[in-house]
Amino acid sequence: MPCLNEAETVATCVRKTIGFFEDKGIDGEVVIADNGSTDGSQQLARDAGARVVPVVDKGYGNALMGGIRAARGRYVAMGDADDSYDFTTLGPFLDELRDGADLVMGNRFKGGIADGAMPPLHRYLGNPVLSFVGRLFFGSKIGDFHCGLRAFDRDAILRLGLQTGGMEFASEMVVKATLHGYDIREVPTTLSPDGRSRPPHLNTWRDGWRHLRFLMLFSPRWLFLIPGLVFMTLGLLAGIALSTGPVTVGEIAFDVDTLVGAGAALVIGFQAVLFALLTKVYAMQEGFLPHDRRVQKVIDWWSLERGLLLGGLLAVAGLGGLVASLLHWRVNSFGELDPRHSLRIVVPAATALVMSLQAIFASLFVSILGIRRRQHPPLTDPAEEAAGVVDAAARKAAEDDAEQSAKDDAGKGAGKVAAGNVDAAAAERDGEDGTSED
């Protein structure tokens, strides 16, 4: 349970959960992820039987991740410490987890929302719209993206590498679990008015925007690709139709002014499509999004050389159009031209030139993103290096022993030589003495 100044309700939530554990014979614990409470919530939670884990980084997501990492169980259930969720109803969540689910979401719209438990703006606009966007963008089947009561396999969630620190953490968990193909299920749950006398931490517009921003940034297809294809299609069709002459629809006439707009739409759309590709490549390589085989096929096909060739062909077409416009101007003795005729040559040519540079720059950038960061292995294997050190030490010890043995042998040899000299000298004296006696 994330906690920030929940002195009025945290003990109640802890006692309810511990009672649920005891009634169901579950080996569990209650972890309070305290985010800097100043009202004594920590001690109240400890007195009620919880383990309090301080989380320094502020934010709903940061508090939850701190608690999830500190949790000791295989399964983790998370819920607000404001007594708006009934922790004695965690049985169905645990049953689904034991049945193989990776993430079990509560659904307040199926279980029931008590009067006054959720502001009308959240109930009828915010949550339904954001949940619809999540289902549309990511193919999720979850009906309540932002339900605060959910349970999951701890290791599976940690593998997702969740990053957000604010309220959008709730969306990130569902989105990444969906993209990674997790088994996600829903169970009905109820939402009651919280037991606090102070306003909630949730800020309607700020946190709503953060959720929407996250959903858009994690979906390059809907953020860039689809709008880009729409712009390109409209610009191309309009450009083709207007390049030969005015187009009249009813009483409305479209001419070269619309042709300029069509060229701009084509350029904008092409740039958006390139952004979709670049974003996907970057997100895949950095691990923000899972690997996409379709995108990988496009990258494998679109080599730097093919991109340069495409850009070159567009540049040739654009330069050809500019040459044609110069010839048209020359025919008119380089005098004043009728824009209704000259722009039908210049606008497509300029559009092709701009798109040629876009294609060339995008190809270069994709190639840069494809450069792998590689750490070259050491010149010597650590095991071999250690063995070499041992061998060198053994050789040194053997050499020292040999040297010492040589010294000892040399010392013994010198002693024998000295003794021999003494014996020779004594014999010589004896000989001298015998001669004199003779």
Instruction: Using the 3D structure, point to which of 317, 350, 369 is the last residue of a domain.
Output: 369
pLDDT at position 152? 97
Task: Answer whether residue 425 is part of any domain.
Answer: no
With a CB cutoff of 8 Å and minimum separation 6, the contacts of 244 are 344
Task: Answer whether residue 121 is part of any domain.
Answer: yes
Task: Answer whether residue 434 is part of any domain.
Answer: no
With a CB cutoff of 8 Å and minimum separation 6, the contacts of 232 are 265, 266, 269, 270, 273
286 and 200 share a domain? no
Instruction: Using the 3D structure, point to which of 369, 398, 413 is the last residue of a domain.
Output: 369
Which of 26-40, 96-110, 350-364, 404-418 shows the lowest per-residue confidence on average (mean pLDDT)? 404-418
Task: Answer whether residue 168 is part of any domain.
Answer: yes
Task: Answer whether residue 411 is part of any domain.
Answer: no
161 and 71 share a domain? yes
Query: In this structure, are residues 277 and 333 in contact, taking their beta carbons and an 8 Å threshold?
Result: no
pLDDT surpasses 60 at 374 = no
Q: Which of 149, 283, 131, 142 is nearest to 212 (CA)?
A: 131
210 and 259 share a domain? no
Task: Answer whether residue 151 is part of any domain.
Answer: yes
pLDDT at position 381? 56
What would the pLDDT profile of 378-423 be if each residue is shown by its tens digit? 555 555 666 666 667 667 777 777 676 766 666 555 554 444 554 5
What would the pLDDT profile of 18-45 be if each residue is shown by its tens digit? 999 999 999 999 999 999 999 999 999 9
141 and 237 share a domain? no
Of the segments 166-180, 203-217, 296-310, which one has the largest average pLDDT value?
A: 166-180
What would the pLDDT profile of 49-64 be if each residue is shown by its tens digit? 999 999 999 999 999 9
**CA 372 from chain center: how many Å?**
17
143 and 188 share a domain? yes
Instruction: Using the 3D structure, point to which of 217, 246, 261 is the last residue of a domain.
Output: 217
Average pLDDT over residues 277-304: 80
**pTM score > 0.75 for this model?**
no
121 and 69 share a domain? yes
In angstroms, rounded to a whole number, what is the distance separating the alpha carbons of residues 225 and 205?
Answer: 27
Residue 12, φ and ψ in degrees, nearest 5: -60, -45
Instruction: Match 């906690």 to its residue by tokens.
Output: 3
Segments forming the whole domain that contains residue 6: 2-217
182 and 317 share a domain? no
User: CA 322, 328, 331, 332: dihedral to nearest 10 degrees?
Assistant: -110
189 and 239 share a domain? no
In angstroms, rounded to a whole number, what is the distance separating the alpha carbons of residues 18 and 88?
Answer: 9
Residue 191 tokens read as 């939402």
348 and 261 share a domain? yes
109 and 208 share a domain? yes
Average pLDDT over residues 111-119: 91
Task: Answer whether residue 383 is part of any domain.
Answer: no
User: From residue 350, how far is each of 317, 342, 353, 404, 430 by CA, in Å?
Assistant: 10, 12, 5, 90, 127
The total domain count for the chain is 2
Q: DSSP states of 270-320 as a string?
A: HHHHHHHHHHHHHHHHHTSS---HHHHHHHHHS-HHHHHHHHHHHHHHHHH
Average pLDDT, the chain: 86
280 and 320 share a domain? yes
In angstroms, rounded to a whole number, what is the distance separating the alpha carbons of residues 104 and 109?
Answer: 15
199 and 277 share a domain? no
Q: Residue 25 burial (CB < 10 Å; 0-12/13-18/19+)?
A: exposed
